[in-house]
Amino acid sequence: MEPKPEWLTVLPPTAVEDEGDNYRRLKGLFSELKLHTVCEEAHCPNVAECWGTGTATLMLMGDVCSRACRFCMVTPGKPAGNAPDPLEPENVALTLSKMGLSYVVLTSVDRDDLPDGGAGHFARTIRATKEMNPGILVEVLIPDFQNDLDSIRTVVDARPDVIAHNIETTLFLSDGVRDPRAGYWQSLSVLRSIKKLDGSMFTKSSIMLGLGEKDEEVRLAMMHLRDAGVDFLTIGQYLRPSSRHLAVEEYVKPEIYEDYKRIGEQEYGFKYVASGPLVRSSYRAGELFIGSLLRQKRTTINEVSRQ
């Protein structure tokens, strides 16, 4: 495999003095309240940018995942018997109030050991966050809950502003990339169910490139996502977390990502596509755009309710 290209070079978390200070502050805060972040667990390349500017993606229900996808750095294992911390929803809400964020992403490990897959815990965290942080926009990146409609409904009824669920890769690569309990069609079904339960809910998904996918497979995935009603899409480069994970087949050039952004927005009709080598599902620049769109929607709803 060719060496990692220069466009994938990122600064370490403490390279910029001000951002390094904020990174250390947030790291201490998360540790104090025993909270996990996907930024750390998944070795996200954007941790310096996000933490340095006061943004983070919090991971609920521990740091051990009941699934073992071949691309993911989060520790796989058996979390059975380790019930979610009942204080976590309030601790998350408290942490966010100290951070002063206007937009937050909440995600989780898979918890197939729980009857509802952790949907109730998601719902409690969403409600606590909104109660303690008036005006905050909440995006949740959910597991598939084994495609259980009641679990999906539990999250929808908690009224987050965006519900994301990732298909991760293309149809023809999915079985070799994801855990056998996950699946391309199952993920699309989850996204479709969210829209059926609440047509006004914004939905989001993500695709990794560099695993050997063909251009027509990426376009097919875009078509399937739009058919499921997905509003927002992120596309980024897969980076191998360790030698036990899938190898990178290709470092996709930045201009290809620019083409996919144009195709996704202009040809397939996504409301927004964040596409670039370092783009991740929880991507700060994308969240700024989505946040602006959500606030416009909220303002419109408030104006209509006053009439």
**For 216-230, what is each residue's pLDDT tens digit?**
999 999 999 999 999
Return phi, psi of residue 232, to 5°: -120, 145
Q: Which of 254, 222, 214 is nearest to 236 (CA)?
A: 254
pLDDT of residue 306: 59
pLDDT value of position 44? 56
Question: What's the total number of domains in the chain?
Answer: 1
Share of the chain residues as helix, strand and coil, in percent rounded to the nearest 5: 45, 15, 40
Residue 236 domain-assigned (yes or no): yes
Residue spans of alpha helices (H) in 33-114: 38-41, 47-52, 88-99
The type of residue at 186 is Q
DSSP state of 209: E
Res 15: pLDDT:
47
pLDDT digits (tens, 9 = 90+) for 98-153: 877 778 889 999 999 999 999 999 999 999 999 999 988 899 999 999 999 999 99
85: domain range?
6-306
Q: Examine residue 104 and state whether it is found in any structural domain, yes or no.
A: yes
Domain membership of residue 17 (yes or no) is yes
In a domain, 180, yes or no: yes
User: CA-CA distance, 156 to 129, in Å (whole number)?
Assistant: 15
| pLDDT < 70 stretches in the chain | 1-2, 9-56, 80-81, 282-289, 291, 297-307
> Residue 1: inside a domain, yes or no?
no
Quick check: is 290 in a domain? yes
Q: What is the pTM of this model?
A: 0.85
CATH classification at residue 272:
3.20.20.70
The number of CA neighbours under 13 Å toward the Cβ of 121 is 26
- Whether 27 is in a domain gets the answer yes
- Neighbour count for residue 297 (Cβ, 10 Å): 13
Q: Is 132 inside any structural domain?
A: yes
Give all strands (DSSP E) within the chain, no chain letters: 36-37, 57-60, 64-65, 75-76, 103-108, 137-141, 162-164, 202-209, 232-237, 272-275
- Residue 34: the pLDDT is 62
